Structure 1
Amino acid sequence: MSSWTDRLRFAFQPVVNLTTGGVAGLEILARPETGDILAEARRDPELDRRLAVSAVRAAVSRETLLPLYVNVFAGTLADLGGLAPVHDAVREAGRLPWEVTIDIGPPYTHVPRRALLDAVAVLRGQGFRICADGVGDGEIPLRLLTDLAPDLVKLDASLLARPAAIRAMRTLCEELGALLSVEGVETEGQCATALTAGAQLAQGELFAPPARLPAADVYVPPRSPGAVAVPRSGPSVREFVRPAALLPATASAGQVRALLTGSPDVSGVLLVDRAGVPVRSVHRSRFLLSMSGRYGHALYADRPAARLGDPPRTVGVDATAWEVLEVVAVGDRARTSDDVAVVDGHGRCVGVVRLADLVRALAETRVEEAAGLNPLTRLPGSDAITGEVDRWIADGRGFALSWLDVDHFKQVNDGAGFAAGDELIRAVGRALQRAASGSAGVGHIGGDDFLVLSVPEELEPLVSSVLDVPWSAGGYPVTLSLATVLCTPGSVTDHRQAAACLATLKKAAKALHGTSWVLGRAGAAGHEIRRGTERAPAPTG
């Protein structure tokens, strides 16, 4: 009688990093030659667990060093309470659990929620990473998704026709600290949609089809200008993580040399302790140079590779690209090409980032920012400020949004000349920039209008630094009008609501005499006059 293993083969499909264009890992897919063993595994948790073990062993037989994605049904985890045999198979193969992501797939209907969450906690305790698979076309409740707090969320290909849903899921993933991936990408248009909507990873026929041999080279279409979502405070390091080449801290120089010579695309090796914490960093060029010198192999081959390594450079998984550059900048200049290890909250290595990837992405970010700057003041336009407003709202932060303009600016231009008018606008912009603290944003939204986002506590000194200045243009005195709306958490749903409140307040400020400031609160009627006086009514009769 034939075994189920006789009618089963495995294929590997790359999961692609859309930022770097590299392979982030390999999903192992069961490919039965006859029958529907996956349907059987859905009903039989023990069979599903044995499939997962076989998947790990199949990957090991292909000698791939890439991180692995192993599929398991949610019901299997809830019924079995964990995957001890899978953990054992990973360890027997010489791999580390944090190099393996467990893709938890539907169905979730009738799966005991508490049992599933307890099983996931066991997997996390063993070091496995967690992925919620098939989101968007399955029936996973949002409550369960947030309780799982996955490291990765994989969206079904059907959502590529609904980019708004991908953007919304990206926001949720940022709150959960997860990466976002889209499956089933088949065309360059779908790839562009996924990237623009905020997906960081993807897989599908466009990049590489499932194959019996793991593919390290994939096709990634070139990105068009503006195809990347605007980051909050610099791109997140999560977007640049590459698989790390890891060896135990006790590895010999000969073992490191064998890994490097067999994997020409590996730029360095991290030596980690039993908990997966990096202890030494071995740079490819420096290491091979030492080994290839006279007597180098005889001196070092059987000795610990740690002697030829350096202290690792590490950043947390929540760091930004700018923070990575700071880590590189303060170190030894001879190590600027070294990979930087990315570690999770337990200090375990989850991958590496390369300086070239960061520099390329930050350069693209700067180009995008420059394209949105006002040519007169070099301040960002309204899109940058309103986008930041929406992010503050999403984060549940209170804020003050202010609209400033020059009174009767056309008359200023007509009387003093456009050159004097331009210099006045530049001077007001510089004053706002100087007054704005690190948490405030200043935008020039056209003509003589400025938009300022700040925390309420910093509003008074910011206003004083601008309104207490005796402004003039070409010898003519000039007054300013300022309107501010205070928005407490939950008082507005997006920047449009805040702008609507602000428009009414601006009209009230412009109706006052002299330099004026009107303050209102979102959701409350009326306003407070902080500067300026009401104009006298026109005489009658």
Structure 2
Amino acid sequence: MLAPADQVRFAFEPLYSLYSGSAVAVEAVGHPAAGWVQDLLDAAGDQAQLIDADLDLAARAAAAAPQVAAGVSLHLNLSASAAGAPAERFIPLLQTLERAGRRPADVVLEVTAPLAVPNPGTLLQGLHRLRDLGFRLAFDRLGAAGLPMNLLAEAPIEMIKLDRATLRRLPANAATVALVEALVQFATQTDLRLVATGIENDAELDVARRAGIRLVQGNLFATAAPERVLPTAERGDQPGTTAVSPAAGLRIPEFLRQAKTLPDDATCDDVHAILSAEHAPKAIVGLDQQARPQWTIDRMRFLLAVTGRYGHALYAGKPAAKLAGPPRLVRIDTGTRELLEIIADGGAEHSGDDLVVTDASGRYQGVVRPNEVMRRMAAVKVEAAVALNPLTRLPGSDAIAHDVARRADAGRPFVVAWLDIDQFKRLNDTAGFAAGDDLIRAIGRALTDHARRLGDVTVGHVGGDDFLVVCGVEDITSLADAVLGHGWSADGVSVTLSLASLVQTGASAGSYRESARLLAPLKKQAKEIPGSSWVNSWPGAGRAQILRGGKETNGRAPMLLSRQ
């Protein structure tokens, strides 16, 4: 007997970028108690019941989805029949998204086989309705979904996912090689994003790379995915350490410029009058009556067309849209990671074209120049690399200060912690500097390995044997147990560690400088406790709590120390 829809459980499978080495999306994959999701849909009966069942599964998946980082979209699967349904059938899904704090613009609906049902025209109309509702769209299982060519050319989609069977015919099947090369070229010229699905091993991943596909998905990335997909130049030299992200802290409003705009029904003469003048703009954006971008015209390409042989005769008085291209759109709240993906997907011909920025309703806000973004990213990357500690390849105090400020602005409680090695100078004198360096690297690896498993944790090495950690209140105990509970030694010499932590309470949280000032006496108290120790306090508390070491090791309640 087939499982009812309310017994379907959802896993969330990431899509990784081979460009940035990061997850850019998660797809909800349904798992019934028995059988397959398609079995449930097949059992739904008539067309109306099938659509209800499909949309119900999509809403359940949206409700079950975890919160994801900014710039990471949620993908929901949808049959072509449901995609062609009237807009009112999507009200329950929209309500579910609203309760979950998600906008339709944060969701990609993956429309899947068979794509010719109910019929291509009905589906195309439905896709435009879904786009008007704010959803982003993709075609799933290209190569096995019966996709008519006119849909591929006309549908308002932003992504195509290759069926896994197509990838597995590479590189031996010459016809498939030619087909995939054509799809990569098509995706580049139309600003679509091509995804290789079902990647099971490193050989298949290498095939996708060599085919020019930038996005990948599959069981290979269930664990340790960033290490598999991150470009070699981005990886730290030390195992277990994390590369500093050059995207941290950068947002589209920092790069926003205003472009010249015209009504979308402007003529080539209108455009020529602007672009042929002295100090002419680089491009023009055509807007409809609701201020939504409809086209863009590049100055150089336009002038080449209209000033060439017969150019004026061909285009005089004609709509400017004839020499325009579709705008390369990006939402103003797009994260830097996704912004880099959009820039990279433009290809060589359009790599310098402005990106047209819109708000959540699709209204024009300005443009972003890719070269300015890339210059800024390069500068931040160089700055971050200079700030890395050469011994552990961990960031220093600037990264910690930035994260403290970020968390304080968010208004939620967090912890700043200071860890160092007891009697480190004596250890160097006994075991030698090389052994001391090895120990520091090992502790750095342990901190970052555990931080990576926890998620939103920043680890810094601020010099010598001192490490700083910023994390959520719920994470500090796990991290402390993992590091303090380890039997550390250097060249046969036993080593203990001291940890001081300060719980910052949201809106009243102090700055990095204030945190460092309050942590200094706490660390001194921790180092006075025999063995590996942990002392915790709160700003203004006037006392410290021993959470590890001293009497705590005998199973009694933690001891409180007054702080003068």
Confirm or deny that 1:480 pairs with 2:504.
Answer: no
TM-score (norm 2): 0.49
Residues 446-465 of structure 1: pairs in structure 2 closer than 5 A: 446-465=463-482
Deviations 1:31-58 (A, max 9, x none): xxxxxxxxxxxxxxxxxxxxxxxxxxxx
Query: 2:473 is aligned with what amino acid?
Result: P
| Matching residue within 358, 361, 369 for 2:384 | 369
Contact 2:247-2:336 at 8 Å conserved across structures: no
Number of the residue aligned with 1:388: 403
The 3-state SS of whatever aligns with 1:512 is: coil
CA distance in 1, matches of 2:480, 2:345: 38
CA deviation after TM superposition for structure 1 residue 321, in Å: 5.0
CA deviation after TM superposition for structure 1 residue 345, in Å: 4.8
CA distance in 2, matches of 1:513, 1:471: 15
441-450 or 323-332: bigger deviation: 323-332
CA deviation after TM superposition for structure 1 residue 402, in Å: 0.6
Aligned CA distance change for structure 1 residues 265 and 464 (closer, same or farther; 3 Å) = farther
Residues 114-513 of structure 1: pairs in structure 2 closer than 5 A: 233-319=248-334, 322-437=337-452, 439-513=456-530
CA distance in 2, matches of 1:407, 1:458: 24
The 3-state SS of whatever aligns with 1:281 is: strand
Number of the residue aligned with 1:54: none
Query: 2:281 is aligned with what amino acid?
Result: V
CA distance in 1, matches of 2:259, 2:406: 32
Contact 2:274-2:280 at 8 Å conserved across structures: no
Contact 1:513-1:535 at 8 Å conserved across structures: no
CA deviation after TM superposition for structure 1 residue 435, in Å: 2.5
Aligned CA distance change for structure 1 residues 287 and 475 (closer, same or farther; 3 Å) = farther
CA distance in 1, matches of 2:525, 2:414: 21
TM-score (norm 1): 0.51
Query: 1:338 is aligned with what amino acid?
Result: D
CA deviation after TM superposition for structure 1 residue 250, in Å: 1.0
Query: 1:532 is aligned with what amino acid?
Result: G
Contact 1:253-1:305 at 8 Å conserved across structures: yes
Contact 2:247-2:337 at 8 Å conserved across structures: no
CA deviation after TM superposition for structure 1 residue 454, in Å: 0.8
Number of the residue aligned with 1:173: none
Contact 1:271-1:280 at 8 Å conserved across structures: yes
Aligned CA distance change for structure 1 residues 478 and 379 (closer, same or farther; 3 Å) = same
Deviations 1:179-238 (A, max 9, x none): xxxxxxxxxxxxxxxxxxxxxxxxxxxxxxxxxxxxxxxxxxxxxxxxxxxx99333332
CA deviation after TM superposition for structure 1 residue 534, in Å: 4.8
Aligned CA distance change for structure 1 residues 499 and 288 (closer, same or farther; 3 Å) = same
The 3-state SS of whatever aligns with 1:334 is: helix
Backbone CA RMSD of aligned residues:
2.8
CA deviation after TM superposition for structure 1 residue 352, in Å: 1.4
CA distance in 1, matches of 2:326, 2:482: 48
CA distance in 2, matches of 1:491, 1:329: 41
Aligned CA distance change for structure 1 residues 367 and 413 (closer, same or farther; 3 Å) = same
Query: 2:477 is aligned with what amino acid?
Result: E
Query: 1:347 is aligned with what amino acid?
Result: G
The 3-state SS of whatever aligns with 2:274 is: helix
CA distance in 2, matches of 1:333, 1:407: 55
Query: 1:446 is aligned with what amino acid?
Result: G
CA distance in 2, matches of 1:497, 1:234: 22
CA deviation after TM superposition for structure 1 residue 423, in Å: 2.0
Contact 1:484-1:519 at 8 Å conserved across structures: yes
Contact 1:247-1:272 at 8 Å conserved across structures: yes
Contact 1:512-1:535 at 8 Å conserved across structures: no
CA distance in 2, matches of 1:271, 1:263: 21
CA deviation after TM superposition for structure 1 residue 401, in Å: 0.6
Number of the residue aligned with 2:536: 519
Where do 5+ consecutive residues of structure 1 fail to align? 1-230, 537-541
CA distance in 1, matches of 2:415, 2:312: 65
CA deviation after TM superposition for structure 1 residue 419, in Å: 1.3
Shift >6 Å, 4+ stretches: none
Aligned CA distance change for structure 1 residues 475 and 305 (closer, same or farther; 3 Å) = farther
CA distance in 1, matches of 2:295, 2:276: 19
Aligned CA distance change for structure 1 residues 263 and 462 (closer, same or farther; 3 Å) = farther
Number of the residue aligned with 2:91: none
Query: 2:460 is aligned with what amino acid?
Result: G
Query: 2:318 is aligned with what amino acid?
Result: R
Aligned CA distance change for structure 1 residues 257 and 431 (closer, same or farther; 3 Å) = farther
Contact 1:337-1:354 at 8 Å conserved across structures: yes
The 3-state SS of whatever aligns with 2:325 is: coil
Number of the residue aligned with 2:225: none
Number of the residue aligned with 1:137: none
Contact 2:259-2:367 at 8 Å conserved across structures: yes
| Aligned sequence identity (%) | 47
Contact 2:400-2:512 at 8 Å conserved across structures: no
Contact 1:512-1:534 at 8 Å conserved across structures: no
The 3-state SS of whatever aligns with 1:337 is: coil
Aligned CA distance change for structure 1 residues 260 and 514 (closer, same or farther; 3 Å) = same
Number of the residue aligned with 1:129: none
319-328 or 350-359: bigger deviation: 319-328
The 3-state SS of whatever aligns with 1:388 is: helix
The 3-state SS of whatever aligns with 2:475 is: helix
Aligned CA distance change for structure 1 residues 292 and 322 (closer, same or farther; 3 Å) = farther
CA deviation after TM superposition for structure 1 residue 490, in Å: 4.2
The 3-state SS of whatever aligns with 1:377 is: coil
431-440 or 392-401: bigger deviation: 431-440
Aligned CA distance change for structure 1 residues 340 and 373 (closer, same or farther; 3 Å) = same
CA deviation after TM superposition for structure 1 residue 317, in Å: 3.5
CA deviation after TM superposition for structure 1 residue 257, in Å: 2.8
CA distance in 2, matches of 1:273, 1:236: 27
Aligned CA distance change for structure 1 residues 267 and 373 (closer, same or farther; 3 Å) = same
CA distance in 1, matches of 2:276, 2:482: 62
Aligned CA distance change for structure 1 residues 332 and 300 (closer, same or farther; 3 Å) = farther
CA deviation after TM superposition for structure 1 residue 440, in Å: 2.3
Deviations 1:498-518 (A, max 9, x none): 333322322232122322222
CA distance in 1, matches of 2:365, 2:428: 59
